[in-house]
Structure 1
Amino acid sequence: MVEHERRSGWKRFWEKGDWWRALILVAGYFVLYQLASLSVLPLLGDLDPESAGYILTVYALPIFIGCVILVVFGLSVGWLGELFARQPIRGSWWMWIAVGVVLLFNVLRFATIDYGATDFGFVAAWLLAGLFIGFAEETLTRGYVVNLMRKAGHGELAVATVSAAVFAALHAGNLLSGQSLFATLVQLGYTFAFGICMYLALRVTGNLIWPILLHATTDPSIFLQTEFPADGSLTAFAGLGNVAVIITGLVLLIFIRGKVGSRDTLLASR
């Protein structure tokens, strides 16, 4: 009985939603993810940074642990079905612009990688890591954070902005790995705009799985094309992808409208 009441209280706490609960969730996830990253350091040994084993250990394994943490949380509050159900608010045609821009440059980056300079195992390791990254970061920010904001009755502009801002803030942790302040600030600007694009992808496709997959192809395409760029003018054009995403996300942000109310409204709309 006591255990049941404890679980009910846990679920009631999160069902109330709001931005500060979203911050608690994200902060808790961030701490656990950082601990997971530190826990894999003894496994590195003398691994070559350009080997599949290195990518799997440094990137894929910690984020996989993050995925497990997020699934466990979803099961504890009973939200997994809710997160991956059809969206309660429909998208507009112009939201496809965000999807198109991100997808276009992902394809261009994959097309301008010098695959002869690397090997299949390394590329496959990045693709697997990208899938884990897409699942974890989208489930957390476009899944849980969006859900928490909507449960509190916030308008969709606030929902989009907070989920994107939280997503960007997560990347401030790169300072801990030695990344420069300037590079981190640039990354925060890009990830905020990218977060807006992913929110629009969520709205217009109607299901969280699509921004997850779109995100899953973004990080590997960026890292692989940066590390192994092919020769040619198309490579230079593909390199403009981050700028295009920043412009797209910031411009489209001003067009976001709509509102989804409390949990009762969410359930009634399905």
Structure 2
Amino acid sequence: MTNTVPEKSGFWSRPSLWKLLSVIVAYLAFYLAVGQVTSRVFADQIDTDNVVASASSIIFGVALPIAIGAIALLIFATKLGWLRDIFGPQPIRGRGWMWIGPIIVVAAIAAHLVGTDWSEWSTGEIVSLIALGVCVGLAEELLTRGIAVKMLRDAGHRERFVAVVSSLLFALMHTVNFIAGMELATVLGTVVYTFGFGMCMYLTMRVTGTIWAAIVLHGLTDPTTILSSGGLDTSVTTEVSGAAAIASLLTVLLIAFGVVAIFLIRGRVGEDQPTHVTA
């Protein structure tokens, strides 16, 4: 009995990339399993042809499995005593150029809002999409900018490695959309986009000093993108006019900036940490 807790604590106190991969895989398996259960239990509420066709379909078909996944991640982080590190102040701050990341994301959110045909959506659907955004923002940021970043930092990696690997894992997580029936071309486009978006979320966390900023921006991005594009599997880059064209341009810019940022990120937690802003 006396050796059980220290042994378990010791395993997670020595983080590594393979342990992080096991967490990601376990979460995805859990999420997919929960999705299968909820899709059967609430089958009469879900539109399988267009999951965002109604408020109930959005909640039970998309938001609920993600919400349950977020709760599981919170329990996992709480059991390990990681919540303070994840939701507290960042141990390393960012340079001024990193503000470009969140600025692009905010601009894209604004363009999506302007480009939305609001007459196509009911109040219930809009509220449900906002709830979906809250679930997605919390679950995905907690896993990739919270747990993943903490484990990579605790393993002693430099911030460039932390940013790239956490963003790459975030992007690769979206390949499960193929299992859900999304077209391969759309999945591949989503993976490319989400890598750039992940880099921008990492930079948002660094430059604001908190994961909460990334959670909020992520939570606003998904619902506004769906509202603007009209569905989960509709690429925003196919839109060509007005605010939609601006959103598409910002999407390309976001991806390009995410790649450029790889070569600009420096530093390591605990190394050369003066009192002023550092890289």
Please give the TM-score of this superposition, normalised by the length of structure 2: 0.89
Q: How does 1:72-91 map to 2 (within 5 A)?
A: 72-91=75-94
User: Which position in structure 2 is the counterpart of 1:14?
Assistant: 12
Shift of 1:261: 4.8
User: Which position in structure 2 is the counterpart of 1:224?
Assistant: 227
For the Cα contact (< 8 Å) 1:150–1:261, is it kept in 2? no
User: Please, what is the CA RMSD of the aligned residues?
Assistant: 2.0
- Hey, what's the Cα distance between the residues in 2 that align with 1:92 and 1:226? 33
Shift of 1:136: 0.4
Q: How does 1:153-172 map to 2 (within 5 A)?
A: 153-172=156-175
User: Which position in structure 2 is the counterpart of 1:44?
Assistant: 43
Does 4-13 or 29-38 show the bigger shift? 4-13
Shift of 1:47: 4.1
- Hey, what's the Cα distance between the residues in 1 that align with 2:116 and 2:43? 26
For the Cα contact (< 8 Å) 2:159–2:265, is it kept in 1? yes
User: Which position in structure 2 is the counterpart of 1:240?
Assistant: 249
- Hey, what's the Cα distance between the residues in 2 that align with 1:171 and 1:45? 26
Please give the TM-score of this superposition, normalised by the length of structure 1: 0.91
Structure 1 runs of 4+ aligned residues shifted over 3 Å read 46-49, 228-232
Extract unaligned runs of 5+ from structure 1.
266-270
- Hey, what's the Cα distance between the residues in 2 that align with 1:127 and 1:240? 24
Aligned partner of residue 179 in structure 1, secondary structure = coil
For the Cα contact (< 8 Å) 2:112–2:225, is it kept in 1? yes
User: Which position in structure 2 is the counterpart of 1:28?
Assistant: 26
User: Which position in structure 1 is the counterpart of 2:265?
Assistant: 256
Percent same amino acid among aligned pairs? 35
Aligned partner of residue 175 in structure 2, secondary structure = helix
Which letter maps to 1:199? Y
- Hey, what's the Cα distance between the residues in 2 that align with 1:238 and 1:186? 15
Does 9-18 or 119-128 show the bigger shift? 9-18
Shift of 1:46: 5.5
Q: How does 1:49-198 map to 2 (within 5 A)?
A: 49=51, 50-198=53-201
- Hey, what's the Cα distance between the residues in 1 that align with 2:243 and 2:171? 28
Extract unaligned runs of 5+ from structure 2.
274-279
For the Cα contact (< 8 Å) 1:11–1:76, is it kept in 2? no
For the Cα contact (< 8 Å) 1:96–1:204, is it kept in 2? yes
- Hey, what's the Cα distance between the residues in 1 that align with 2:46 and 2:90? 43
Aligned partner of residue 45 in structure 1, secondary structure = helix
Which letter maps to 1:181? L
Which letter maps to 2:24? V
For the Cα contact (< 8 Å) 2:45–2:60, is it kept in 1? no
Q: Does 1:199 align with 2:198?
A: no
Deviation string, structure 1 residues 193-217 (Cα, Å, up to 9, x no partner): 1111111111001011110101001
Does 59-68 or 174-183 show the bigger shift? 174-183
